[in-house]
Amino acid sequence: MATVSRVLHDKPGIAQATKDSVLTALDVFGYERPTKLRNERGPLIGLVLPDLQNPIFPAFAELVVSALIRRNLLPVLCTRTADGVSEAQYIEMLLAQQVGGIVFIGSSYADAGPEHSRTLRERRLPIVLINAADENLDVPRVCVDDSVAVDQALDHLTALGHERIGLVLGPVGHVPSVRKLAAYAAYAQARGDREWRGRVAHTIFSMEGGGTAATRLLKEGVTALICASDALALGAIRAARKQGLSVPGDLSVVGFDDSSLMNVTDPPLTTVRQPIQAMSTAAVASLMAQIDGRSVPVDEVLFDPELIVRGSTGMCR
C-alpha cells in the first residue's frame, strides 16, 4: 500500500519498473490514473479473436496478454458477440482509440474490408497475425505448420493399420483448413488413392459440426478421422457412440490444438499440439519490434506442432 501511495503521489525513490507495474495494475482494474501520470500510459493493444468458445483462442490470448502487460502495454480483448459485432467493427473502434498495435488471433484480417485495410497500412500500425483465417502476404504472420500436423497424424494412423482415413475441416476457404487439405491430398495421391475426396468433410468449428461431418464420413467406411480442432474431434467421438461404435475400438480419432482438458476426456484425446507459448512469444516480439520502429520481415514464421498420442487412437480391426 505504501508503494502504491508513493507512485500515485509521484514521490521520488521508486524504481521505474515498480512504477510501471503499479500504473499497469490501475489500467487493468479500471482505476483512473492521477492527472499528472496519464501521459505515461502505455499504448492500448487490440487483441482480435473470432470467438471464445474454442479453448485454443483464450489460451493464446492469455499468453499474449501476459507478455503485453509485462511490457507496460494495455491489451483490449475484442471478440465476436452474439449481437453481431464483427472484426471490422472492432478494428474501427480500435482505430478510433488510437491503439498502438493489433494482434489478430485466428481472425480474418481481410474482413476489415479494403477501406480499413488501407487505413491500417497508411498509419503503419504494428500488426501481427497468429494462425490467420485468410491469406495476408503483406503482414507479419506467426502460424503453426498445418502440413506437418496432418503428416504426423497420417503417419500415426497408417502405422496403426488404418487405410480409410477421413478428414474433418473447417469452412471452405479457411486457410489453415486449406493447408491441411493440401497435405492430406498429397499424402493420398502419393499412395495412388483416387477416392480421397469422398473422405473429406467441411463444417463449422463446433462439436455439432464435428458430429455432422463424422456421421457422413462413417457412411464412407472410414476407420479413422483427423479433425481440424479438438472440438470437432469430440463431436466426432460423440457421433460415433450414438451409432453404437467404440473409440478407439471401431474408430480412431485425432484432434488438433491440444486444448486444455483433452487429457481427461473419455477417452483421452490423441491430438496435434500447437506450440502456443513459442508462437505467442514470437508474435509479441514482432509487435514490439514494430512499435520500437525496427525493421520486421513481412513474412510467415512457421512452428512445428507435436503429435500427442493418447487413448482415442488404436489398431485398425
**Cα dihedral angle (208, 277, 301, 303), rounded to 10 degrees?**
-70
pLDDT at position 41 is: 47
Residues 175, 258, 308: CA angle, nearest 5 degrees: 110
Same topology, domains 44-144+276-304 and 146-274? Answer is: yes
Kindly give the pairing relationship between strand 270-273 and strand 306-308. antiparallel
Domain 44-144+276-304 matching CATH 3.90.1170.50: the answer reads: no
146-274 CATH fold: Rossmann fold (3.40.50)
CA distance 49 to 57: 7
CA distance 273 to 230: 10
pLDDT at position 197 is: 95
CA distance 129 to 194: 36
What is the 8-class DSSP label of residue 49? E
Could you give phi then psi for residue 298, rounded to 5 degrees? -90, 80
pLDDT at position 28 is: 64
Domain boundaries defined on the chain: 1-37, 44-144+276-304, 146-274
C-alpha cell at 217: 464420413
pLDDT in tens, the chain (317 residues): 888 888 888 888 888 778 878 877 776 666 766 766 655 545 789 999 988 888 999 999 999 999 999 888 889 988 876 666 777 778 778 877 778 899 999 986 665 556 666 777 777 889 999 998 888 768 899 999 999 999 999 999 999 999 999 999 999 999 999 999 999 999 999 999 999 999 999 999 999 999 999 999 999 999 999 999 999 999 999 999 999 999 999 999 999 999 999 999 999 999 999 999 999 999 999 999 998 888 887 889 999 999 999 999 999 98
C-alpha cell at 285: 516480439
- If one counts every other C-beta atom within 10 angstroms of the C-beta of residue 37, the result is 16
What is the 8-class DSSP label of residue 78? E
CA distance 183 to 205: 20
CA distance 266 to 241: 11
- CA end-to-end distance (rounded Å), the chain: 66
CA distance 187 to 157: 13
Q: Are 271 and 310 in contact (CB under 8 A)?
A: yes
CA distances (Å), origin 75, targets 71, 170, 187, 309 = 11, 28, 41, 35
Whole-prediction pTM: 0.84
